């Protein structure tokens, strides 16, 4: 292990920031970066998409009021002619400290609940 790797791992384990705050401004920055990259990939593939689209699919049809919520990326008419909503969820690598098992989709299930 090189000295750079050792220092980086040690800082990570001691929860000392690895990057300066001005270099990585947090979860929102990373979330928006991934959203924009995904959006640009769809656009370059000539797939019709919209960023931060307001949709109303979580509201009970019996309710009179509409609850519009922004989705990160809305892909138009791709799956059987239906639209697809893509919502990104960021997870801190420090959230699972002390938890031995890693479960795929845990963050999505937690966000949905």
* Domain residue spans of the chain: 1-55+65-94
pLDDT of residue 51: 92
Q: Hey, how many other C-beta atoms are within 10 angstroms of the C-beta on 3?
A: 7
Q: Hey, how many other C-beta atoms are within 10 angstroms of the C-beta on 83?
A: 17
pLDDT of residue 94: 59
Tell me the Ramachandran region of residue 98: left when phi exceeds 0, alpha when psi lies from -120 to 50, beta otherwise.
left
Look up the pTM and report it.
0.54
Show pLDDT as tens, one digit a residue, over the chain (113 residues): 788 888 888 888 887 877 666 555 667 778 888 899 999 998 998 889 999 888 876 566 676 666 777 888 888 876 778 888 888 877 666 555 555 566 667 777 777 77
């Amino acid at each position: 292990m090189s000295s750079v790797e050792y220092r980086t791992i040690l800082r990570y384990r001691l929860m000392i920031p690895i990057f300066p705050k001005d270099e990585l401004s947090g979860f929102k920055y990373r979330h928006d970066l991934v959203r924009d990259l995904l959006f640009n990939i769809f656009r370059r593939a000539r797939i019709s998409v919209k960023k931060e689209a307001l949709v109303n699919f979580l509201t009970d049809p019996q309710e009179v009021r509409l609850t519009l919520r922004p989705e990160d990326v809305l892909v138009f008419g791709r799956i059987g002619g239906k639209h697809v909503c893509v919502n990104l969820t960021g997870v801190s690598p420090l959230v699972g400290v002390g938890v031995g098992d890693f479960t795929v989709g845990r963050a999505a299930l937690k966000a949905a609940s």
